[in-house]
C-alpha cells in the first residue's frame, strides 16, 4: 500500500502556509504510547490533540504538525527503526524492489538506484554514504514488533489496512521529488490524502529517519458502493419484477442510450427506496479483503501460537467473544454449492492465523489456491445468524440461551468458535 508512488508536482506556498497554521507546539509531556485498546493507542499517537478535534478539523481537510518536547517520547520514536537495523535484516534475506528501494531526487525527478536480487548491507551502506541515496524500506512491521503493535491496534481502530514505510536519508540529500500519496499517511505529521509534500535532510545532520504510517487506501464511499451495490441489486431483483424485465432490444449495440438512462435512473431510485426501508447494504469482498490481509493480534515475542485453551464449552457454560476486532460475520451465497439455486450461508472470518511476514506485501500467491486459503473462518447455516449476533453483541452469554432450536446446535456453535480461539469459557 504505501509502496505505491505518487504524482510529481510542486509544493506551493499556500500548502506551506497551511501546514504552518496547523502547527501545534506542545510544552507539556504527553504520555508514551498507550496500548490498552485501539482508542487509547490512537489518542496517544495524536496527543495532545483530542480525537474529536482531529476528525472535525484535520482529517481529510488539512495537514497537522504536532511538535513535542518530551525526551522519553522522542527516544521511543527513535527506537522504532535505525539504519543499523538493516544490517541484521539484510542477513535474513531482503530483496531490491520488494523490500528495499534505493533512490535519489535528481533535477526534480526520482532516480532509482536498485541493484538486482538480494540486498548486500555493505553495498547498501556504500550507496547511502557515497551516492547520498535514500533508503526506502517497505513494511517494517514485518520485522519490528513495536511497529506491529502500533499498526495492529490502528487496523482495529480504523477497520482498514495500515501499512508503513521507513525512509532513511543522508545529510544534504533528498530521496523523492515533491509528490502526493493516495493514502492517509501520518505520524507526528499528518497529511490528508493527496497532499503534495517533500522532505530532505539539511546539512549538519548525519541522516534522518522517518516512518510513514498509512491507511484508508481503497476505502472510500465509492469503493464501498462498488462492493455492496451488486448484492443489493441481486436481493432486490428477487422481489421486484421491474429489475427482471428485459433491457431494450439492441441496447448493447447502441452508441446513444439517452432514452434508457431515464429507465436506469428510475430503477436506481427503486434501489434507494429499498435501502431506506431495509437499512441493509452488505459488504462482503471489502470485509474479506481486510480480514484476510490484516495483521494478526500482537501477543508478544514470547507468546505461544494461538491454540484453543481452557474448558470446552458445554450447554451449561457461559462464554464470551475473544479478539472481537479481528473477526467479522458476513452473509453470502454458499461457496460450496454449485447448484443454480444458491442458498445463503453465514460466514465467520478472522485474522488470528494471518502471517505477519506477508502483511501488505501483495504476494503473488494472492490469486492462487494457496492464497485463497489465507481466509480463515467458519461456515454456518443462515439459521445460526441470530445466535452469532448474540455472541458478538454481548459481553457474555450462556450457551443454553443462544437463539437456536436444539441444545446440540448450541453446543456445536460454541465448540466451533472455541476451536478457532474466538470464544472462551468463563
CATH code, domain with 246: 1.10.10.1500
Task: Give the pLDDT of residue 40.
Answer: 96
Task: Establish if 1 belongs to a structural domain.
Answer: no
Q: Which residue has the cell 481452557?
A: 310
Q: What is the mean pLDDT of the chain?
A: 83
Spatial separation of the C-alpha atoms in residues 30 and 147, rounded to whole Å: 19
Question: Does pLDDT of 392 surpass 80?
Answer: yes
More confident residue, 203 or 379: 379
Task: Establish if 124 belongs to a structural domain.
Answer: yes
Task: Establish if 340 belongs to a structural domain.
Answer: yes
Q: Which three cell numbers stand for residue 61?
A: 481537510
Task: Say whether both 261 and 309 belong to one domain.
Answer: no
Domain boundary among 195, 215, 235: 215
Task: Give the pLDDT of residue 299.
Answer: 83
Question: Does pLDDT of 28 surpass 60?
Answer: no
Q: Alpha helices of 202-304 — where are they, by DSSP H?
A: 221-239, 258-278, 285-293
Instruction: Quote the domain boundaries for residue 368.
Output: 285-425
Domain boundary among 175, 197, 215: 215
Spatial separation of the C-alpha atoms in residues 184 and 260, rounded to whole Å: 39
Question: Does pLDDT of 255 surpass 50?
Answer: yes
Q: Do strands 64-68 and 23-26 pair parallel, antiparallel, or not at all (unpaired)?
A: parallel
201-221 pLDDT per residue, tens: 556 656 788 899 999 999 999
Task: Give the pLDDT of residue 397.
Answer: 96
Average pLDDT over residues 138-149: 95
267-309 pLDDT per residue, tens: 999 999 888 887 777 777 898 899 999 999 998 655 566 788 8
Most confident of 14-28, 31-45, 299-313, 384-398: 384-398
Task: Establish if 380 belongs to a structural domain.
Answer: yes
Task: Say whether both 245 and 307 belong to one domain.
Answer: no
Average pLDDT over residues 188-213: 74
Q: Tell me the CA end-to-end span of the chain in Å, nearest whole number.
A: 40
Task: Say whether both 345 and 204 belong to one domain.
Answer: no
Q: What is the pTM of this model?
A: 0.83
Task: Say whether both 121 and 209 belong to one domain.
Answer: yes
Task: Say whether both 181 and 48 belong to one domain.
Answer: yes
Nearest to 196 by CA among 295, 62, 286: 62
Question: Does pLDDT of 369 surpass 50?
Answer: no
Domain boundary among 278, 293, 317: 278
pLDDT confidence band for 363 (50 / 70 / 90): low
Spatial separation of the C-alpha atoms in residues 46 and 33, rounded to whole Å: 10
Question: Does pLDDT of 372 surpass 70?
Answer: no
Task: Say whether both 317 and 396 belong to one domain.
Answer: yes
The lowest-confidence range among 17-31, 46-60, 298-312 is 17-31
The per-residue DSSP string of 85-116 comes to HHHHHHHHH-BBTTTEEEEEEETTEEEE---S
Task: Establish if 81 belongs to a structural domain.
Answer: yes
Task: Establish if 69 belongs to a structural domain.
Answer: yes
Task: Say whether both 165 and 113 belong to one domain.
Answer: yes
More confident residue, 299 or 346: 346
Task: Say whether both 274 and 297 belong to one domain.
Answer: no
pLDDT confidence band for 55 (50 / 70 / 90): very high
Task: Establish if 244 belongs to a structural domain.
Answer: yes
Task: Give the pLDDT of residue 6.
Answer: 38
Question: Does pLDDT of 153 surpass 90?
Answer: yes
- Number of domains within the chain: 3
Task: Say whether both 382 and 233 belong to one domain.
Answer: no
Task: Establish if 2 belongs to a structural domain.
Answer: no
Task: Say whether both 93 and 161 belong to one domain.
Answer: yes
Q: How many CB atoms lie within 10 A of CB 52?
A: 8
CATH code, domain with 383: 3.90.930.40
Task: Give the pLDDT of residue 30.
Answer: 45
Residues 82, 86, 91, CA angle at the centre, nearest 5°?
155
Nearest to 148 by CA among 33, 246, 28: 33
Task: Say whether both 271 and 300 belong to one domain.
Answer: no
CATH code, domain with 53: 2.60.120.650
Task: Give the pLDDT of residue 209.
Answer: 85
Contacts of 73 (CB under 8 A, 6+ apart): 29, 30, 32
Spatial separation of the C-alpha atoms in residues 388 and 330, rounded to whole Å: 11
Task: Say whether both 235 and 198 belong to one domain.
Answer: no
Q: Which three cell numbers stand for residue 349?
A: 472470518
pLDDT confidence band for 81 (50 / 70 / 90): very high
Question: Does pLDDT of 199 surpass 80?
Answer: no
For the chain, what percent of residues have pLDDT higher than 70? 80
Q: Do strands 184-185 and 179-180 pair parallel, antiparallel, or not at all (unpaired)?
A: unpaired
Amino acid at each position: 500500500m504505501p509502496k505505491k508512488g505518487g504524482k510529481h508536482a510542486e509544493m506551493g506556498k499556500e500548502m506551506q502556509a497551511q501546514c504552518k497554521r496547523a502547527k501545534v507546539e506542545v510544552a507539556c509531556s504527553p504520555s508514551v504510547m498507550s496500548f490498552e485498546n485501539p482508542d487509547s493507542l490512537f489518542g496517544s499517537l495524536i496527543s495532545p490533540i483530542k480525537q474529536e478535534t482531529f476528525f472535525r478539523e484535520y482529517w481529510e481537510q488539512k495537514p497537522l504538525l504536532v511538535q513535542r518536547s518530551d525526551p522519553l517520547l522522542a527516544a521511543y520514536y527513535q527506537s522504532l527503526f535505525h539504519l543499523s537495523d538493516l544490517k541484521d535484516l539484510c542477513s535474513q534475506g531482503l530483496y531490491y524492489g520488494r523490500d528495499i528501494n534505493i533512490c535519489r531526487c535528481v533535477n526534480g525527478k526520482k532516480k532509482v538506484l536498485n541493484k538486482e536480487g538480494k540486498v548486500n548491507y555493505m553495498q547498501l551502506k556504500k550507496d547511502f554514504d557515497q551516492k547520498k541515496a535514500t533508503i526506502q524500506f517497505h513494511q517494517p512491521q514485518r520485522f519490528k514488533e513495536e511497529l506491529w503493535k502500533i499498526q495492529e491496534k490502528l487496523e482495529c481502530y480504523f477497520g482498514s489496512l495500515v501499512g508503513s514505510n521507513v525512509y532513511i536519508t543522508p545529510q544534504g540529500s533528498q530521496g523523492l521529488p515533491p509528490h502526493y500519496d493516495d493514502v492517509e499517511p501520518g505520524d507526528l505529521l499528518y497529511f490528508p490524502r493527496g497532499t503534495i509534500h517533500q522532505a530532505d535532510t539539511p546539512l549538519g545532520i548525519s541522516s534522518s529517519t522517518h516512518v510513514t504510517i498509512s491507511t484508508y487506501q481503497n476505502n472510500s464511499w465509492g469503493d464501498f458502493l462498488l462492493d455492496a451495490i451488486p448484492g443489493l441489486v441481486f436481493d432486490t431483483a428477487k422481489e421486484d419484477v421491474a429489475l427482471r424485465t428485459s433491457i431494450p432490444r439492441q441496447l448493447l449495440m447502441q452508441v446513444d442510450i439517452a432514452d434508457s438512462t431515464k429507465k436506469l435512473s428510475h430503477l436506481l431510485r427503486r434501489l434507494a427506496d429499498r435501502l431506506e426501508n431495509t437499512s441493509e447494504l452488505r459488504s462482503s469482498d471489502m470485509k474479506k479483503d481486510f480480514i484476510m490481509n490484516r495483521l494478526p493480534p500482537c501477543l508478544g515475542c514470547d507468546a505461544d501460537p494461538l491454540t484453543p485453551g481452557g474448558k470446552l464449552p458445554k450447554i451449561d457454560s457461559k462464554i464470551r467473544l475473544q479478539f472481537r476486532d479481528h473477526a467479522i460475520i458476513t452473509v453470502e451465497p454458499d461457496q460450496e454449492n454449485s447448484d443454480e439455486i444458491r442458498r445463503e450461508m453465514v460466514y465467520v472470518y478472522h485474522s488470528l492465523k494471518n502471517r505477519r511476514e506477508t502483511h501488505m506485501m501483495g504476494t503473488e500467491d494472492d490469486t492462487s489456491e494457496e492464497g485463497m486459503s489465507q481466509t480463515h473462518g467458519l461456515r454456518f447455516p443462515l439459521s445460526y445468524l441470530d445466535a452469532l449476533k448474540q455472541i458478538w453483541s454481548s459481553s457474555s452469554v450462556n450457551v443454553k440461551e443462544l437463539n437456536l432450536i436444539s441444545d446440540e446446535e448450541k453446543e456445536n456453535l460454541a465448540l466451533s468458535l472455541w476451536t478457532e480461539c474466538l470464544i472462551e469459557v468463563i
